[in-house]
Amino acid sequence: MLLARAGTLAMGILASIVVARALPPEGRGTYYMAVTVATAAMTLGHLSVDQAQTAMWAREGQRPYLDANSLPLGLVIGSAAAAVAIGLGLVFQGSANVPDISLLATACAGVPLGMSVFYGTNIMVLRSRTGVAGRAMLASAVAQCLCLVLLGLTGHLTVQTVVIAWVVSMAAPLALLIAAGGVTVGLPDLGVAVATCAKGLRLHAGSAAAYLLLRSDVFLLNALAGPREVGIYTLAVTLADLSRVAVDVLSQVTLSLQFDGDVSESAMVTARIVRFTVLLGVASAVTTVTAVSILIVPLYGHAYAAAATLVGWLVPGVLLLSAARPLSNFLLRQRSSRLVVFPSLIALVVNVGLNAVAIPIWGAIGCALASTVAYGTLVAFQVTYFRRVSGLGWTCLLPTSVETARFTMEVKHRFKALRIGGVP
């Protein structure tokens, strides 16, 4: 899984460089907004089926049906979500810097494909087949990168073709999942499908709020500042997200451990995972900020130099969010929608309110500051609920001095093994 994420990361960086070199910030902003609309359709329209799958997975008798339903549910729900997104695009054409409808329709073609991958990958993680999930992720990045390189070599890199490459990147992992047996192709079970959607709908307000917490800033920045600011800011978001790659991998591969045993055992496991994600997250954050400040201009050009400053403001919030992901998984296990929905809704209100005030004053920097404060608000609520449910103190989530020393020694050992800074 880690190797797949590393390959995905490398392909993603290469793709972002190709796009930045081919398109000015305005063009990148237009492309990103079209893809963001499609991504919003997937995330706001998926009805939180993935969370319902996770919550229902404890019942072993339902697992085969949850597996078989992932592909048809993804295609049907994804098609409906894409249709709604295109309809809204028609309504808002000509206002708030919304991209052209043909560009939006092209991007939305990837929604049912991406939603099927989303559901299927979640099933693979629950089945502890993280290798298949990782290869699917890698296939998406490789497909997009190959398309972009070929388009660049033939001189056909435009906003429209970059969006098409993104759609192809949604189709590739679905094909791999089906070929590898990661997604079952067969008749769905209607009863379990209805139960899954009903369960997901009870959690969906929290899921939708969590997504809007992460992406509402892009919509507001586009409406209030224009596509150029979006082009620079979204590159900074992409680079800041690099700091969470290792932490997300750890959270995924340890997910099944959080669902073993009773609530008390799960809480202890969750606390141990969080302590390590904090250490790993801090190391990743420092590495990301340092690397971006050095490499942003040589790799992306002077037009995107301001993204380095934005990364510095975004990374603390990204660190908090990624390190606290195991807490979110633990709260989801409790099957209480209030524990999942309420924190996300409050953080979303904070994010929108701060962005509405800060963007007109500070532009993209204000957007980054507002996002970091909102992420911190969400994590504060998650920690509070974790304490109430588990009975553990919040200090159990902080690494001990022994754990910190052990982690630091391991990092130094890895660097020495790579002979970094040494003479060959």
Q: Which amino acid is at 363?
A: G
pLDDT one-digit tens code per residue, 280-316? 999 999 999 999 999 999 999 999 999 999 999 999 9
Q: In the structure, what pLDDT confidence band is assigned to residue 335 with cuts at 50, 70 and 90? A: low
CA atoms within 13 A on the CB side of 314: 27
pLDDT one-digit tens code per residue, 87-109? 999 998 888 788 899 999 999 99
What distance in Å separates the CA atoms of residue 16 and residue 96, rounded to the nearest whole number?
A: 25
Take residue 408 and report the two structure tokens written for it. 């630091």
What distance in Å separates the CA atoms of residue 212 and residue 206, rounded to the nearest whole number?
A: 10
Name the DSSP letter for residue 296: H
Mean pLDDT of 332-338: 66
Interacting residues of 74 by C-beta distance below 8 A, sequence separation 6+: 112, 115, 116, 117, 118, 119, 120
Q: What is the pLDDT of residue 337?
A: 61
Which H or E run contains 1?
A: none
Residue keyed to tokens 């000015």: 24
* Least reliable range by pLDDT among 29-33, 93-97, 198-202: 93-97
**Residue with the larger pLDDT of the pair 235 and 6:** 235
Integer angstrom CA distances of residue 79 from 71, 110, 197, 320: 12, 9, 16, 34
Mean pLDDT of 49-78: 87
Give start and end residues of each alpha helix (H) in 301-424.
Answer: 307-323, 325-333, 337-362, 364-390, 401-418
Beta-carbon neighbour count of residue 324 at 10 Å?
A: 26
Residue keyed to tokens 């409050």: 346
What distance in Å separates the CA atoms of residue 34 and residue 108, rounded to the nearest whole number?
A: 8
Please tell me the total number of residues recorded for the chain in this structure: 424
Q: What is the pLDDT of residue 208?
A: 82
Take residue 120 and report the two structure tokens written for it. 């299927």
Q: How far apart are the first and last CA of the chain?
A: 31
Take residue 224 and report the two structure tokens written for it. 């209030």
Take residue 332 and report the two structure tokens written for it. 């989801």
Is the Cα torsion angle 165, 15, 244, 238 positive or negative in sign?
A: negative
Interacting residues of 286 by C-beta distance below 8 A, sequence separation 6+: none
Q: What is the pLDDT of residue 422?
A: 42
Give start and end residues of each alpha helix (H) in 46-110.
Answer: 49-56, 63-91, 101-108
What distance in Å separates the CA atoms of residue 213 and residue 219, rounded to the nearest whole number?
A: 11
Phi, psi at residue 94, to the nearest 5°? 90, 0
168 closest CA partner among 196, 144, 197: 144
Mean pLDDT of 236-249: 87
What distance in Å separates the CA atoms of residue 130 and residue 128, rounded to the nearest whole number?
A: 5
Q: What is the pLDDT of residue 236?
A: 94
pLDDT at 421 over 80: no
DSSP class per residue in 163-217: HHHHHHHHHHHHHHHHHTTSS--S---HHHHHHHHHHHHHHHHHHHHHHHHHHHH
Q: Is 318 exposed, middle or buried (0-12, 13-18, 19+ CB in 10 A)?
A: buried
Interacting residues of 410 by C-beta distance below 8 A, sequence separation 6+: none
Mean pLDDT of 375-398: 90
Mean pLDDT of 337-357: 86
| pTM (global) more than 0.85 | no
Interacting residues of 256 by C-beta distance below 8 A, sequence separation 6+: 125, 126, 128
Contact 364, 233 (CB under 8 A): yes
pLDDT at 423 over 70: no
Q: What is the mean pLDDT of the chain?
A: 87
- The highest-confidence range among 59-73, 158-172, 394-408, by mean pLDDT, is 158-172
Beta-carbon neighbour count of residue 94 at 10 Å?
A: 6
Q: What is the pLDDT of residue 415?
A: 56
